[in-house]
A and B are shown apart, each in its own frame.
Chain A
């Protein structure tokens, strides 16, 4: 990226308190995100993948300040958004939007489609009622719904159509960055393809940047140009989509890719499945978070946490194997 990135995240940390209250102190902390750094360029699709509890959703929400980070820096278009007051941030916040996973619970059932998709305008008082209506028609057209759908309520739509409404709402404020948190995971295969194509068309048309959060490796590989793999609150590997599945370097990425059942009966997956469960983030393992499940583990791994360093051109990995270059 020759120009300055649209979003630069540095050393992001989030610890959630467990227990505690007004008077009591929390008795433990969940280390949801522990030191995550990455940059997203203008018009780029950046993928965050990992299994449940790896912290990918928390990272996405912290970027929009839906969750306040414990520590770290988030720069959007050169401005440190964590230094801004709520009021100052509101102006910037319009330029970043979010699409949620569940198309059922993320739309207000008592609002019409028109009210839902133009709510960002109403909040800003940027347009009159008639103008909002015209904008709503245009937005629905962009996402493949009809003007006749404006006065309907969310329950009248299927899951895929609801996700289109959620996308129209996100587009309404003319954002530059959209955080898409598992936007197609709740959809059926044939509808999933429709929504993925829509997201890609919109990106082309509006020059959007995406942070695409998903557990589905094939979907992320299809949409994103760079992919970060998270495990227990840390990025363990960051690679271009081209080399992500072909030359994975972190043992976790290797195992994760091997676990995906291939839709091809001629290629039986022969890999040994990853043993055990993800450790508890209240009490994460010492050193490399993956070491208790890693088949390449050696004496250095439980002692020191490996840094995320370049192993090849544009390919970063956090692993002590082969002098920090990971699996080769």
Chain B
């Protein structure tokens, strides 16, 4: 029996735009256990980053507002915390790593001080003690000659090295939850592999939970235990990583998995056509009566366009937002 660390319940986030209120996140629910790695996948604009930013209270307001729902971290509702309490939480109990290692470090402060800062702020360490620990951490995230690089500035480091600094900064206070938003998207594959294995090693060593937000299904398959798939602001499927890749239920999940070229799949003949998902993601200001994926779905029928489906249980620990659960005869065979 593992204990639940974070649970998001019916979270809705809206943004006021000249075109009307855009619901970037629509009644999203999922939870994360202690020590677990949960992957959140989806394409641009599906609401995965907004969901993660709202955990830390980082939604810019205005234009953003959290319309409803709650985010429980160890039982406390984070949405009800005052700014001071939230500030004490950020960086100490929940840390975050962003996609852009170039822009998320301060370019005019030496990296040693940036890594040491959370220790000084949260644990009241003296500057020299914090810097000493920062040096240890830079060493731990495998920055060569770490102690001598404390005085280096971000521009003196490569992209992979900067992401290592970000990781050190996120980990110094030994948080219980690490949120990584596309941590390897800006990096080359060989560096991506290094960063992922570093993150997983540290996570296992410290018994931390990891919320990994990515669009890369390969990264999810290799790191997460459970996966939440988001589409147009909603959770459309949730499953264990094995079920998701072996028995995807939602047509969107199936479409995503089929549309990827597989390395090594090519025989000597010409490449076959990829199975594409037709159409494009609806604009978030659009109001859609039925299922949001219906316009692109090859199984869609009248009911899908008229009434929005709920997240139905479709297996052990697997849920999907799709009417095919109740109308399995409507599923078309693979052509």
Contact = CB atoms under 8 A, between A and B. Distances in A.
Given A262-B221, A274-B194, A222 B43 contact: no
B276 A190 contact: yes
Interface string B250-283: 0000011101111111111011011111101100
Contacts of B191: 51, 277
A160 interface: yes
Contacts of B153: none
Given A161-B280, A193-B274, 6 more contacts: A221-B261, A259-B190, A262-B218, A263-B245, A265-B245, A273-B190
B101 to A, nearest CB: 13
- Give 4 closest A-B pairs by Cβ, nearest first: A261-B218, A222-B261, A193-B259, A188-B43
B6 interface: no
B216 interface: yes
B280 A269 contact: no
Interface stretch (A60-68, A97-105, A128-136, A240-248): A240-248
A245 to B, nearest CB: 4
Nearest to B227: A265
Interface string B36-61: 00000001100000000000000000
A242 B190 contact: no
Contact of B268 (A242, A256, A258, A269): A242
Given A190-B276, A193-B274, A222-B274, A217 B43 contact: no
Interface stretch (A110-118, A174-182, A194-202): A194-202
Given A261-B222, A265-B241, A246 B264 contact: yes
A218 B262 contact: yes
A51 B263 contact: no
Nearest to A219: B261
Interface of B: 43-44, 158-161, 188-194, 196-197, 215-223, 241-242, 245, 255-257, 259-268, 270-271, 273-278, 280-281
Contacts of A34: none
Contact count band on A: 35 or more
A242 B217 contact: no
A72 B81 CA distance: 65
Interface of A: 51-52, 158-161, 188-194, 196-197, 200, 215, 217-219, 221-223, 225, 240-242, 245-246, 255-266, 268-269, 273-275, 277-278
Contacts of A161: 280
A266 B242 contact: yes
Nearest to B189: A259
A328 to B, nearest CB: 18
